[in-house]
Amino acid sequence: MTRLFNIAAATLLVVGLGAARPVAAEKDIVDTAVAAGQFTTLAAALKAAGLIDTLKGPGPFTVFAPTDAAFAKLPAGTVEALLKDKAKLTRILTYHVVAGKVMAADVVKLKQAKTVEGSTVSIDASNGVKINDATVVKADVAASNGVIHVIDTVIMPKM
């Protein structure tokens, strides 16, 4: 009986270790976001700004990705206006991107990060993680060319 128990325990241990191994992400940042189903506004904005090919590129990129609900919090008409202003839209979207793959364990050690747009975002990890005024609601969503951190608010650079 003890031998049977040990074999079962060893089997569980091996199966458990196998499941714990990280699996490489097969989809790039854009495809990962689209597959999640909560970033349709972000995907439309990336397309309007001509940034799809960039974020499908080799990267690596770290994207602070606002959900559809985050975009819905903007004043009425804002998203529609931005979709018609490619320069402003591009500036806002690139403000959500940091060059390199910055995982949550690294983000919490930072006070700020330089965005692809050229400005910096502030990072506060004292009570959860905030990027400017946005709260990270899900971290470390793996993609083949970087990582996505889901945020609940669209962050805006100084215009």
pTM for the structure as a whole: 0.82
Instruction: List, in order, residues 6 or more apart from 142 with CB less than 8 Å away.
Output: 22, 24, 25, 32
CATH class, domain 25-151, is mainly beta
Question: Which residues lie across from 151 on neighbouring strands?
Answer: 66, 136
Q: Where are the domains of the chain?
A: 25-151
Strands 130-131, 120-124: pairing is antiparallel
Averages of pLDDT over each 10 residues, the chain, 159 residues: 33 33 70 92 95 93 97 95 95 96 92 96 94 96 95 93
Q: What is the pLDDT of residue 24?
A: 53
Instruction: List, in order, residues 6 or more apart from 91 with CB less than 8 Å away.
Output: 117, 157, 159
Q: What is the pLDDT of residue 25?
A: 64
Q: What is the pLDDT of residue 10?
A: 33
Q: Helix count (H) and strand count (E) of the chain?
A: 8, 7
